[in-house]
Amino acid sequence: MEPKGEKIDHPAGACYNTALPPPLEDEYKEVAWAVPAFDKEANAPRPIEPIWIARPKIGPHQVRFEMLYCGVCHSDPSCGLNEWGGCVYPFVGGHELLGKCIEVGEGVTKVQVGDYVGVGCMVDSCLECEYCKSDEEQYCANGMTMTWNSPKTHGRVLGNPETHTHGGYSGSSVTHEHFVVKIPEGMDIQRAAPILCAGITLWDPIRYHGLVDGPKKVVGVCGLGGLGTMGVKIASALGHKVVAISTSASKESMAKEKGATGFVVTKSEESLKANAGTMDIIFNTISADHDINTYLPLLKTNGIMVMLGGVTKPHTIYQMGLMFQRKTITGSLIGGMKATQEVIDFCHKHNIYPDIKMIKAKDLNEAWKALCEGKGDGVRFVVDIKASLQDESFLPK
Ligand SMILES: NC(=O)c1ccc[n+]([C@@H]2O[C@H](COP(=O)([O-])OP(=O)(O)OC[C@H]3O[C@@H](n4cnc5c(N)ncnc54)[C@H](OP(=O)(O)O)[C@@H]3O)[C@@H](O)[C@H]2O)c1
Ligand SMILES: [Zn+2]
Ligand SMILES: [Zn+2]
């Protein structure tokens, strides 16, 4: 379904400027921080600013929560700046939502008013196909509904069916209980939000490739940003030997503090050579176009390269190299709801948290810029929503 509004041609794929209608009767008005539109004259999206959006009132299975913290994933600018094409403006980013439940529908059993809750990248799917039935809703054969920039397709996202989903840079949200995870009592809620995307995106392939219960392996983690550093922490907590792989030599001590015992600088031929053929599996979280052939030689025979970054430029691969060492290149997308609850519980039990930098909504443009320039430094930005709501200078009129 093509969004209603003005279609704007763009090299990455068309994007759309739409006008948000006022709240319907079954909706309420809420503060959000959004990229309001694509500025055709400047040929660029406008910076993030405060706007009003409509959120749905709860139905029998919906959970309403006041937003406390929302992580900033690199996917937010990638979508919001239309690097992937298809952005529908106004775009409200944020898919690492952590809040406190303030209202539940009469049929809700998972959480109660007062509980801390989390929502990740996905807010609906068909729940009937083979993937949904095997707890992998992210691969729904009928297409999952993402937390932001998605049409409302399966009926569990209530409110105006004509508008697209809005992410967590906002005062509150409403989600069907199936797509809500429970944040255990005692968890550090200021730091837990990024587990809902960065954590699960590493946990799910770690689980899928047998690294939760299976034998100990040599695990490479490539790209030491929000995702990569969670990969280092989780894989080392599981007892694997973790080798961090980075473009920046300066990240070695940081990676080792987080649990890596080995370090490869990809800008150094020597470092690449010294580590060739040593890794069983590499989780590749690089967010920009790159030459995968730099990294494949690090794998052992039978090694697996798991592609996780939102990279759109096709790769060129020397196939014979794969054949002669039976290597696999695969991908992985976030994780299902069962696995998302699992990673939250695992991180709570093992006291694993991302290293974060707390910001306010008015800092979002700067945070996006830092991510786009590769200056995240292994620290996840997290928006303090309550503090942002108190900042009169950055609220909608
Ligand atoms: N698969 C999924 O389900 C999923 C889920 C969430 C996010 N993502 C995607 O995963 C990627 C990582 O997200 P993030 O939030 O972790 O981003 P991030 O914090 O910006 O980290 C990305 C890291 O990639 C490395 N990098 C950046 N440019 C590079 C280049 N030109 N060559 C080599 N390495 C480069 C940098 O690490 P070093 O400085 O260490 O080299 C950087 O810290 C993004 O593309 C995001 O959209 C995918
Ligand atoms: Zn994400
Ligand atoms: Zn499905």
| CATH code where residue 296 lies | 3.40.50.720
Do 264 and 351 sit in the same domain of this protein?
no
Q: If you measure from the C-alpha of residue 384 to the centroid of ligand 3, how many angstroms do you get, rounded to a whole number?
A: 33
Q: Are 339 and 201 in contact (CB under 8 A)?
A: no
- Which residues, at least 6 apart from 388, have a Cβ–Cβ distance to it below 8 Å? 33, 360, 361, 362, 394
Q: What is the pLDDT of residue 247?
A: 97
Q: What is the pLDDT of residue 12?
A: 96
Do 111 and 178 sit in the same domain of this protein?
yes
Q: What is the pLDDT of residue 4?
A: 86
Distance CA 232, CA 219 (A): 9
Q: What is the pLDDT of residues 85-108, one digit of tens each?
A: 999 999 999 999 999 999 999 999
Token pair for 79 = 């979508």
- Cis link prior to 90 (omega < 30° from 0)? yes
Instruction: Give Dmax (Cα) for the chain.
Output: 65
Pocket lined around ligand 1, Cβ cut-off 6 Å: 73-75, 78, 197, 201, 223-228, 246-248, 251, 285-288, 290, 308-310, 332-334, 371, 374, 376
Q: What is the pLDDT of residue 367?
A: 98
Q: If you measure from the C-alpha of residue 335 to the centroid of ligand 3, how many angstroms do you get, rounded to a whole number?
A: 13
Token pair for 223 = 């790209």
Among the listed residues 122, 124, 120, the one whose alpha carbon sits nearest the alpha carbon of residue 70: 120
Among the listed residues 79, 58, 71, 73, the one whose alpha carbon sits nearest the alpha carbon of residue 99: 71
Please tell me the pTM assigned to this model: 0.98
Q: Structurally, how many domains does the chain consist of? A: 2
Any idea what the CATH number is for the domain that residue 187 is in?
A: 3.90.180.10
Q: Where are the alpha helices (DSSP H) in the chain?
A: 75-80, 130-133, 189-192, 198-208, 226-237, 252-257, 269-274, 319-324, 337-350, 364-372, 385-389
Residue whose Cα lies nearest atom 21 of ligand 1: it is 225
Q: Which atom of ligand 1 is nearest to the CA of 73?
A: 15
Residue pointed to by tokens 């649990």: 259
Q: Are 89 and 39 in contact (CB under 8 A)?
A: no
For 20, list phi and psi in degrees, rounded to 5.
-80, 125
Q: Is residue 1 part of a domain?
A: no
Cα 223–chain centre separation: 15
Q: What is the pLDDT of residue 223?
A: 97
Q: Is residue 20 part of a domain?
A: yes
Q: How would DSSP label each residue in 237-305?
A: HTT-EEEEEES-GGGHHHHHHTT-SEEEETT-HHHHHHTTT-EEEEEE---S---GGGTGGGEEEEEEE
Q: Is residue 174 part of a domain?
A: yes
Q: What is the pLDDT of residue 99?
A: 98
- Which residues, at least 6 apart from 196, have a Cβ–Cβ distance to it below 8 Å? 71, 95, 96, 97, 98, 118, 119, 120, 121, 181, 340, 344
E strand or H helix that includes residue 330: strand 328-331
Q: What is the pLDDT of residue 3?
A: 86
Do 205 and 115 sit in the same domain of this protein?
no
Q: Are 166 and 32 in contact (CB under 8 A)?
A: yes
Out of 221, 285, 373, mutate this one to test ligand 1's pocket (max ligand atoms within 8 Å of CB): namely: 285
Do 239 and 363 sit in the same domain of this protein?
no
Q: Where are the alpha helices (DSSP H) in 18-136?
A: 75-80, 130-133
Question: Which residues in the chain show pLDDT less than 50?
Answer: none
Do 16 and 122 sit in the same domain of this protein?
yes
Distance CA 56, CA 33 (A): 17
Q: If you measure from the C-alpha of residue 308 to the centroid of ligand 1, how many angstroms do you get, rounded to a whole number?
A: 8
Do 91 and 162 sit in the same domain of this protein?
yes
Q: What is the pLDDT of residue 340?
A: 98
Do 267 and 212 sit in the same domain of this protein?
yes
- Which residues, at least 6 apart from 343, have a Cβ–Cβ distance to it below 8 Å? 195, 199, 200, 203, 204, 234, 335
Q: Is residue 283 part of a domain?
A: yes
Do 170 and 300 sit in the same domain of this protein?
no
Q: Buried (b) or exposed (e) across 152-164, using 16+ Cβ within 10 A? A: bbbebbbbbeebb
Q: State the residue range of the domain holding 85.
A: 6-197+335-394
Q: Is residue 263 part of a domain?
A: yes
Token pair for 106 = 């009469």
